[in-house]
Protein backbone atom coordinates (compact mmCIF):
# COMPACT_ATOMS: atom_id res chain seq x y z
CA UNK A 1 0.00 0.00 0.00
CA UNK A 2 3.01 2.20 0.43
CA UNK A 3 4.01 1.36 -3.09
CA UNK A 4 1.54 2.95 -5.43
CA UNK A 5 3.48 1.56 -8.36
CA UNK A 6 2.59 -1.98 -7.32
CA UNK A 7 -1.09 -1.39 -6.96
CA UNK A 8 -1.29 0.60 -10.13
CA UNK A 9 0.33 -2.01 -12.27
CA UNK A 10 -2.81 -3.81 -13.44
CA UNK A 11 -4.26 -0.60 -14.78
CA UNK A 12 -1.06 0.18 -16.61
CA UNK A 13 -0.91 -3.21 -18.27
CA UNK A 14 -4.39 -4.18 -19.31
CA UNK A 15 -4.61 -7.93 -19.88
CA UNK A 16 -6.39 -7.63 -23.17
CA UNK A 17 -3.25 -6.00 -24.56
CA UNK A 18 -2.76 -2.32 -25.46
CA UNK A 19 -4.60 -1.48 -28.60
CA UNK A 20 -4.42 1.86 -30.38
CA UNK A 21 -7.53 3.95 -30.74
CA UNK A 22 -10.59 3.99 -28.55
CA UNK A 23 -10.67 0.66 -26.61
CA UNK A 24 -13.81 -1.28 -25.78
CA UNK A 25 -15.84 -0.03 -22.84
CA UNK A 26 -15.35 -1.55 -19.38
CA UNK A 27 -18.60 -3.54 -19.58
CA UNK A 28 -17.52 -5.22 -22.81
CA UNK A 29 -14.14 -6.07 -21.31
CA UNK A 30 -15.79 -7.61 -18.25
CA UNK A 31 -18.20 -9.61 -20.37
CA UNK A 32 -15.40 -10.84 -22.60
CA UNK A 33 -13.30 -11.78 -19.59
CA UNK A 34 -16.24 -13.64 -18.05
CA UNK A 35 -16.82 -15.55 -21.24
CA UNK A 36 -13.10 -16.38 -21.31
CA UNK A 37 -13.29 -17.65 -17.74
CA UNK A 38 -16.34 -19.75 -18.57
CA UNK A 39 -14.49 -21.36 -21.46
CA UNK A 40 -11.50 -22.07 -19.22
CA UNK A 41 -13.74 -23.54 -16.56
CA UNK A 42 -15.54 -25.71 -19.10
CA UNK A 43 -12.30 -27.16 -20.41
CA UNK A 44 -10.68 -27.56 -17.02
CA UNK A 45 -13.72 -29.08 -15.30
CA UNK A 46 -13.43 -32.73 -16.42
CA UNK A 47 -9.74 -32.84 -15.53
CA UNK A 48 -10.41 -31.08 -12.25
CA UNK A 49 -13.19 -33.49 -11.30
CA UNK A 50 -11.02 -36.49 -12.13
CA UNK A 51 -8.06 -35.00 -10.26
CA UNK A 52 -10.25 -34.25 -7.28
CA UNK A 53 -11.84 -37.70 -7.20
CA UNK A 54 -8.75 -39.74 -7.91
CA UNK A 55 -5.98 -37.70 -6.25
CA UNK A 56 -7.24 -35.15 -3.76
CA UNK A 57 -10.10 -37.15 -2.27
CA UNK A 58 -7.99 -40.27 -1.55
CA UNK A 59 -5.36 -38.09 0.13
CA UNK A 60 -8.01 -36.49 2.30
CA UNK A 61 -9.60 -39.86 3.08
CA UNK A 62 -6.23 -41.39 3.99
CA UNK A 63 -5.47 -38.45 6.28
CA UNK A 64 -8.87 -38.92 7.91
CA UNK A 65 -8.70 -42.71 8.35
CA UNK A 66 -5.13 -42.48 9.68
CA UNK A 67 -6.63 -41.18 12.92
CA UNK A 68 -8.80 -44.24 13.50
CA UNK A 69 -8.35 -47.83 14.49
CA UNK A 70 -10.07 -49.39 11.53
CA UNK A 71 -9.95 -52.71 9.67
CA UNK A 72 -11.26 -51.26 6.41
CA UNK A 73 -14.55 -53.15 6.57
CA UNK A 74 -18.06 -52.00 7.26
CA UNK A 75 -18.58 -48.40 6.22
CA UNK A 76 -16.77 -45.48 7.79
CA UNK A 77 -14.34 -45.86 10.70
CA UNK A 78 -15.67 -45.09 14.17
CA UNK A 79 -12.92 -45.84 16.67
CA UNK A 80 -11.12 -42.49 16.85
CA UNK A 81 -7.58 -42.72 18.29
CA UNK A 82 -6.16 -39.30 17.41
CA UNK A 83 -2.48 -39.42 16.53
CA UNK A 84 -2.01 -42.81 18.21
CA UNK A 85 -1.21 -44.53 14.89
CA UNK A 86 1.55 -42.01 14.25
CA UNK A 87 3.15 -42.35 17.70
CA UNK A 88 3.08 -46.14 17.29
CA UNK A 89 4.65 -45.76 13.85
CA UNK A 90 7.43 -43.43 15.02
CA UNK A 91 8.24 -45.85 17.86
CA UNK A 92 8.42 -48.86 15.56
CA UNK A 93 11.77 -50.39 14.68
CA UNK A 94 10.42 -51.47 11.31
CA UNK A 95 9.67 -47.84 10.42
CA UNK A 96 13.18 -46.75 11.45
CA UNK A 97 14.56 -49.58 9.33
CA UNK A 98 12.45 -48.43 6.36
CA UNK A 99 13.87 -44.93 6.60
CA UNK A 100 17.42 -46.24 6.92
CA UNK A 101 17.00 -48.60 3.93
CA UNK A 102 15.50 -45.79 1.83
CA UNK A 103 18.35 -43.47 2.71
CA UNK A 104 20.99 -46.09 1.85
CA UNK A 105 19.39 -46.76 -1.52
CA UNK A 106 19.10 -43.03 -2.27
CA UNK A 107 22.76 -42.42 -1.42
CA UNK A 108 23.87 -45.42 -3.50
CA UNK A 109 21.70 -44.30 -6.42
CA UNK A 110 23.12 -40.79 -6.41
CA UNK A 111 26.72 -41.90 -5.97
CA UNK A 112 26.78 -45.00 -8.18
CA UNK A 113 23.77 -45.39 -10.44
CA UNK A 114 23.53 -41.87 -11.86
CA UNK A 115 27.30 -41.39 -12.50
CA UNK A 116 27.37 -44.81 -14.15
CA UNK A 117 24.48 -43.86 -16.42
CA UNK A 118 26.12 -40.50 -17.17
CA UNK A 119 29.40 -42.14 -18.13
CA UNK A 120 27.63 -44.56 -20.45
CA UNK A 121 25.61 -41.76 -22.02
CA UNK A 122 28.77 -39.77 -22.78
CA UNK A 123 30.44 -42.86 -24.22
CA UNK A 124 27.46 -43.65 -26.41
CA UNK A 125 27.37 -40.07 -27.63
CA UNK A 126 30.63 -40.66 -29.48
CA UNK A 127 30.78 -41.96 -33.00
CA UNK A 128 31.22 -45.68 -32.87
CA UNK A 129 30.15 -48.80 -34.71
CA UNK A 130 26.83 -50.25 -33.46
CA UNK A 131 26.02 -47.25 -31.30
CA UNK A 132 22.26 -47.65 -31.83
CA UNK A 133 22.46 -51.34 -30.86
CA UNK A 134 24.20 -50.50 -27.58
CA UNK A 135 21.68 -47.82 -26.78
CA UNK A 136 18.84 -50.26 -27.40
CA UNK A 137 20.47 -53.01 -25.34
CA UNK A 138 21.14 -50.77 -22.36
CA UNK A 139 17.63 -49.37 -22.46
CA UNK A 140 15.95 -52.78 -22.79
CA UNK A 141 15.82 -53.67 -19.03
CA UNK A 142 13.81 -50.53 -18.36
CA UNK A 143 11.06 -51.83 -20.62
CA UNK A 144 10.64 -55.06 -18.59
CA UNK A 145 8.04 -54.94 -15.87
CA UNK A 146 9.22 -54.82 -12.26
CA UNK A 147 7.58 -58.14 -11.50
CA UNK A 148 9.34 -59.94 -14.34
CA UNK A 149 12.65 -58.39 -13.28
CA UNK A 150 11.98 -59.55 -9.72
CA UNK A 151 11.22 -63.13 -10.71
CA UNK A 152 14.22 -63.20 -13.06
CA UNK A 153 16.67 -62.03 -10.41
CA UNK A 154 15.25 -64.19 -7.64
CA UNK A 155 16.18 -67.10 -9.89
CA UNK A 156 19.61 -65.65 -10.70
CA UNK A 157 20.38 -64.90 -7.05
CA UNK A 158 18.99 -68.18 -5.66
CA UNK A 159 21.64 -69.56 -3.27
CA UNK A 160 22.07 -73.15 -4.55
CA UNK A 161 21.10 -73.26 -8.20
CA UNK A 162 21.21 -69.57 -9.06
CA UNK A 163 23.25 -68.31 -11.99
CA UNK A 164 25.23 -65.79 -9.92
CA UNK A 165 26.70 -68.37 -7.55
CA UNK A 166 27.22 -70.92 -10.33
CA UNK A 167 29.23 -68.37 -12.29
CA UNK A 168 31.35 -67.60 -9.22
CA UNK A 169 31.93 -71.33 -8.74
CA UNK A 170 32.85 -71.79 -12.41
CA UNK A 171 35.58 -69.16 -12.28
CA UNK A 172 36.94 -70.43 -8.98
CA UNK A 173 35.67 -67.67 -6.74
CA UNK A 174 33.76 -69.93 -4.34
CA UNK A 175 34.63 -67.76 -1.37
CA UNK A 176 32.60 -64.91 -2.89
CA UNK A 177 29.44 -67.03 -2.99
CA UNK A 178 26.65 -65.61 -0.89
CA UNK A 179 23.03 -66.35 -0.14
CA UNK A 180 22.49 -62.88 -1.66
CA UNK A 181 18.84 -62.15 -0.97
CA UNK A 182 18.68 -64.36 2.12
CA UNK A 183 21.46 -62.69 4.08
CA UNK A 184 20.57 -59.45 5.90
CA UNK A 185 24.07 -58.10 5.21
CA UNK A 186 23.98 -58.61 1.43
CA UNK A 187 20.33 -58.10 0.64
CA UNK A 188 20.46 -54.30 0.24
CA UNK A 189 23.49 -54.28 -2.08
CA UNK A 190 21.92 -57.12 -4.08
CA UNK A 191 18.64 -55.22 -4.31
CA UNK A 192 20.52 -52.11 -5.37
CA UNK A 193 22.35 -54.05 -8.07
CA UNK A 194 19.03 -55.23 -9.48
CA UNK A 195 17.64 -51.69 -9.33
CA UNK A 196 20.68 -50.38 -11.16
CA UNK A 197 20.32 -53.03 -13.84
CA UNK A 198 16.67 -52.10 -14.23
CA UNK A 199 16.88 -48.32 -14.21
CA UNK A 200 20.31 -47.20 -15.49
CA UNK A 201 19.11 -47.38 -19.09
CA UNK A 202 16.38 -44.86 -18.37
CA UNK A 203 18.83 -42.36 -16.87
CA UNK A 204 21.27 -43.06 -19.68
CA UNK A 205 18.68 -42.05 -22.28
CA UNK A 206 17.85 -38.97 -20.22
CA UNK A 207 21.50 -37.91 -20.10
CA UNK A 208 22.01 -38.75 -23.75
CA UNK A 209 19.15 -36.45 -24.70
CA UNK A 210 20.59 -33.74 -22.49
CA UNK A 211 24.06 -34.17 -23.98
CA UNK A 212 22.75 -33.93 -27.51
CA UNK A 213 21.12 -30.63 -26.65
CA UNK A 214 24.57 -29.11 -26.04
CA UNK A 215 25.86 -27.50 -29.23
CA UNK A 216 29.11 -29.08 -30.49
CA UNK A 217 30.55 -25.59 -31.09
CA UNK A 218 30.96 -25.04 -27.36
CA UNK A 219 33.21 -28.06 -27.02
CA UNK A 220 35.13 -27.11 -30.13
CA UNK A 221 35.63 -23.56 -28.90
CA UNK A 222 36.93 -24.85 -25.57
CA UNK A 223 39.28 -27.22 -27.41
CA UNK A 224 40.65 -24.34 -29.48
CA UNK A 225 41.26 -22.45 -26.25
CA UNK A 226 43.39 -25.41 -25.17
CA UNK A 227 40.97 -27.24 -22.83
CA UNK A 228 41.77 -30.90 -22.24
CA UNK A 229 39.05 -33.56 -22.55
CA UNK A 230 38.59 -33.54 -18.79
CA UNK A 231 38.37 -29.76 -18.66
CA UNK A 232 35.83 -29.79 -21.48
CA UNK A 233 33.74 -32.26 -19.52
CA UNK A 234 34.17 -30.48 -16.20
CA UNK A 235 33.58 -26.91 -17.37
CA UNK A 236 31.39 -27.25 -20.46
CA UNK A 237 29.44 -30.51 -20.57
CA UNK A 238 28.73 -30.97 -16.87
CA UNK A 239 27.37 -27.46 -16.19
CA UNK A 240 25.21 -27.58 -19.30
CA UNK A 241 23.89 -31.01 -18.24
CA UNK A 242 22.95 -29.51 -14.86
CA UNK A 243 19.19 -29.33 -15.45
CA UNK A 244 19.10 -32.96 -16.67
CA UNK A 245 21.17 -34.18 -13.71
CA UNK A 246 18.96 -32.35 -11.26
CA UNK A 247 15.77 -33.81 -12.69
CA UNK A 248 17.33 -37.29 -12.80
CA UNK A 249 18.29 -37.05 -9.12
CA UNK A 250 14.77 -35.86 -8.34
CA UNK A 251 13.13 -38.81 -10.13
CA UNK A 252 15.54 -41.23 -8.51
CA UNK A 253 14.81 -40.03 -4.98
CA UNK A 254 11.02 -39.89 -5.39
CA UNK A 255 11.12 -43.34 -7.00
CA UNK A 256 13.00 -44.73 -4.01
CA UNK A 257 10.50 -43.34 -1.50
CA UNK A 258 7.77 -45.22 -3.35
CA UNK A 259 9.78 -48.35 -4.13
CA UNK A 260 7.52 -51.40 -3.81
CA UNK A 261 7.02 -53.98 -6.56
CA UNK A 262 10.63 -54.98 -7.12
CA UNK A 263 11.22 -55.44 -3.38
CA UNK A 264 7.93 -57.25 -2.91
CA UNK A 265 8.75 -59.85 -5.55
CA UNK A 266 12.45 -60.23 -4.73
CA UNK A 267 12.39 -60.42 -0.94
CA UNK A 268 8.99 -59.41 0.41
CA UNK A 269 10.95 -56.95 2.54
CA UNK A 270 12.94 -59.71 4.23
CA UNK A 271 14.96 -61.36 5.52
CA UNK A 272 13.76 -60.05 8.84
CA UNK A 273 12.82 -56.57 7.46
CA UNK A 274 16.38 -56.01 6.15
CA UNK A 275 15.16 -54.80 2.75
CA UNK A 276 11.76 -53.43 3.72
CA UNK A 277 10.62 -50.06 2.36
CA UNK A 278 7.83 -47.75 3.52
CA UNK A 279 5.54 -48.95 0.76
CA UNK A 280 6.12 -52.62 1.68
CA UNK A 281 5.34 -51.91 5.34
CA UNK A 282 2.19 -50.09 4.29
CA UNK A 283 1.09 -53.04 2.18
CA UNK A 284 1.78 -55.48 5.02
CA UNK A 285 -0.37 -53.57 7.48
CA UNK A 286 -3.11 -52.57 5.06
CA UNK A 287 -3.67 -55.80 3.20
CA UNK A 288 -2.18 -58.58 5.31
CA UNK A 289 -3.04 -57.40 8.79
CA UNK A 290 -6.14 -55.38 7.82
CA UNK A 291 -5.02 -52.52 10.05
CA UNK A 292 -6.08 -49.96 7.50
CA UNK A 293 -5.91 -47.01 9.92
CA UNK A 294 -2.27 -47.71 10.70
CA UNK A 295 -1.48 -48.30 7.02
CA UNK A 296 -3.11 -44.96 6.21
CA UNK A 297 -0.79 -43.32 8.73
CA UNK A 298 2.18 -44.81 6.86
CA UNK A 299 0.81 -43.55 3.54
CA UNK A 300 0.34 -40.07 5.02
CA UNK A 301 3.95 -40.07 6.21
CA UNK A 302 5.09 -41.18 2.73
CA UNK A 303 3.01 -38.44 1.14
CA UNK A 304 4.39 -35.76 3.45
CA UNK A 305 7.97 -36.96 2.94
CA UNK A 306 7.58 -36.86 -0.84
CA UNK A 307 5.78 -33.54 -0.87
CA UNK A 308 8.14 -31.70 1.49
CA UNK A 309 11.09 -33.06 -0.41
CA UNK A 310 9.60 -32.17 -3.79
CA UNK A 311 8.73 -28.63 -2.77
CA UNK A 312 12.10 -28.01 -1.14
CA UNK A 313 13.92 -29.48 -4.12
CA UNK A 314 11.95 -27.39 -6.59
CA UNK A 315 12.46 -24.28 -4.47
CA UNK A 316 16.16 -24.61 -3.73
CA UNK A 317 17.78 -26.97 -6.22
CA UNK A 318 15.79 -26.62 -9.39
CA UNK A 319 14.91 -22.95 -9.04
CA UNK A 320 17.06 -21.92 -11.98
CA UNK A 321 15.74 -24.72 -14.18
CA UNK A 322 12.12 -23.84 -13.62
CA UNK A 323 12.53 -20.10 -13.85
CA UNK A 324 10.50 -18.74 -16.69
CA UNK A 325 8.25 -21.78 -16.51
CA UNK A 326 6.03 -22.15 -13.49
CA UNK A 327 7.32 -19.57 -11.07
CA UNK A 328 7.08 -16.49 -13.24
CA UNK A 329 4.16 -17.36 -15.41
CA UNK A 330 2.12 -14.42 -14.10
CA UNK A 331 4.49 -11.87 -15.55
CA UNK A 332 4.30 -13.22 -19.06
CA UNK A 333 0.59 -13.21 -19.52
Residues 184-203, mask of contacts with other proteins (x by CB under 8 A): x--x----------------
One residue of 20, 22, 26, 74 binding other proteins per CB under 8 A: 74
Q: Is 272 helix (H, G, I), strand (E, B) or coil?
A: coil
Contacts of 37 (CB under 8 A, 6+ apart): none
One character per residue 160-189, x = contact with other proteins (rule: CB under 8 A): xxx----------------xxxxxx--x--
Binding range to other proteins, per CB under 8 A, among 140-148, 263-271, 311-319, 322-330: 263-271
The answer to whether the beta carbons of residues 63 and 50 sit under 8 Å apart is no
| Cβ at position 71, least distance to other proteins in Å | 8
Question: 272, 184 in Cβ contact below 8 A?
Answer: yes
Strand locations in the chain (E): 68-69, 79-80
- Choosing from 116, 134, 141, 159, the residue that interacts with other proteins (CB under 8 A) is 159
If the CB atoms of residues 8 and 183 are measured against other proteins, the closer one turns out to be 183
Site for other proteins in 4-23 (CB under 8 A): none
- Chain positions 264 to 293 lying near other proteins, rule: CB under 8 A, are 267-268, 270-273, 284, 288-291
In this chain, which of 73, 132, 326, 329 binds other proteins, going by CB under 8 A?
73
DSSP letter assigned to residue 56: I
CA distance 131 to 65: 53
CB of 219 or CB of 271, closer to other proteins: 271
Radius of gyration of the chain (CA): 27
Least distance (Å) between residue 55 CB and other proteins: 25
C-alpha to C-alpha distance for 271 and 183, rounded to whole angstroms? 7
Cβ at position 85, least distance to other proteins in Å:
10
User: What secondary structure does DSSP assign to 18-49, as a single string?
Assistant: --SSSPPPHHHHHHHHHHHHHHHHHHHHHHHH
Residue 156 in contact with other proteins, rule: CB under 8 A: no
**Smallest distance, Å, CB 88 to other proteins?**
7
Task: Provide, rounded to whole angstroms, the least separation between the CB of residue 280 and other proteins.
Answer: 12
Q: For CA atoms 29, 35, 37, 40, give the dihedral sign.
A: negative
Helix 187-212 and helix 146-156, axial crossing angle in degrees, nearest 10: 130
Chain residues in the site for other proteins (CB under 8 A): 69, 73-75, 88, 154-155, 158-162, 179-184, 187, 267-268, 270-273, 284, 288-291
Amino acid sequence: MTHPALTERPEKRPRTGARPGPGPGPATVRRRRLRGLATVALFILPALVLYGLLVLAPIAIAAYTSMFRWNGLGGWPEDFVGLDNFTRLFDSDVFHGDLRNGLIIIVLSLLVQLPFALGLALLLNRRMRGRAVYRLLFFAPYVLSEVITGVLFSLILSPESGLANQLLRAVGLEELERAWLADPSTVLPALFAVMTWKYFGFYMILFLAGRQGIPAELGEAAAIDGATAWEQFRHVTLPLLGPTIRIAAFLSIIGTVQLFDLVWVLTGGGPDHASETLAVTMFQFGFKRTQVGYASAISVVMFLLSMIFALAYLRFVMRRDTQGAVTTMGDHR
